[in-house]
Amino acid sequence: MELEGKTALVFGAGSIGPGWGNGKACAVAYARAGASVVAVDLDIERARETCKIINEEGGRALSLAADVTDSAAIRKVADNALETFGSIDILHNNVGISLHGDPVSMSEEDWDRSIDCNLKSVFLACKHVLPVMLRQGSGVIINISSILSVVVSRYDEVAYYASKAGVDHLTRFVAVKYADRGIRCNAIQPGLMNTPLLYANKELVIDEHGSVEAMIEDRNAASPTGKMGEAWDIANAAVFLASDKSAYINGVILPVDGSILCKQA
C-alpha cells in the first residue's frame, strides 16, 4: 500500500466507453495502492462508475463533475477534495481531446478548444492545487502527455501536437520551480494504447484504416513489441511516480510506449 494515507485528485477519471481508459485505470490503481481518490469527469456518470469500482473493492472515493477549462469549477473541486479527505497529495491531469486538422483546415474554434482542454486545463489544475501542496510542504503532479508531443503521426492533429508539447514543458517548469518546496512534477507519454478512446470515432477509423480490425492490426504492427499497450501500463507508471519510490525523479517526461520513440522511421 504505497500510497496509504494520501489523496489523489484525478481529472479525467472516467472512460469514454466500456473497458479501461487511462484515467479510469489510474484512479483505480491509486486506490488499490491505498490512496483516497477524487474522481473527476465532465460526465458525472463516468466518474461514478470509477468510484463504484473503488468502493466495491474497499477503497474510498468521491465522484465529481467538472469542466477542466473552467477555473471556478476546478477551484471548487479542489475545495471539495480538501473538505472530504483533508489533503491533496497527488494531482493527476488526464483530460485531453484530439481534433483533426492542419493550420489551414482547422478552425480557430477547434484550435482554441484543443489548447484549452489539453494545456490550459493542466495550468488551471496546477493553479488551484499547487497552493494546497505548498501549504502541505509536499505533493506530486502527474500530467498525461503523449509521444505525439515529440513526433508527428499519420494524422493531421496540429493542435494536439502543439498542446502536448506545451504540457511537457509546463511539467518541466513546475518541477524546477517547486523542487525545493517538496513538490515533484512529471509527465507520462503514452504510446499506442488500446483503450476505449480508440473506438469512439468509428467514422474516422474507417476513413483512415478501412475498418476497426485494420486499425488494430496497423497499430499493433507499428509497435516494436508487436502489440499496443493498455491502460494498466499507464496506471502502473503513475503509481510509481506518485510513490516515494520515485522521490528523486522530478521533471521527467516518461515514455510508456513499448520503445516506439526509439524506432527509426
Determine whether 208 is exposed, middle or buried from the number of CB atoms within 10 Å of its CB (0-12, 13-18, 19+). middle
**DSSP per residue, 103-155:** TTTS-HHHHHHHHIIIIIHHHHHHHHHHHHHHHHT-EEEEEE--GGGTS--SS
**C-alpha to C-alpha distance for 255 and 146, rounded to whole angstroms:** 8
- Label residues 28-44 b or e (16+ Cβ within 10 Å = b): bbbbbbbbbbbbbbbee
**C-alpha to C-alpha distance for 126 and 122, rounded to whole angstroms:** 6
Question: Contact at 8 Å (CB) between 208 and 154?
Answer: yes
For cell 479501461, what's the residue? 20
C-alpha cell at 72: 471556478
CA atoms within 13 A on the CB side of 103: 2
Q: Known catalytic residue: 155?
A: no
Q: Which of 30, 155, 160, 161 is catalytic?
A: 160
Q: Would you name the residues annotated as active-site residues?
A: 160
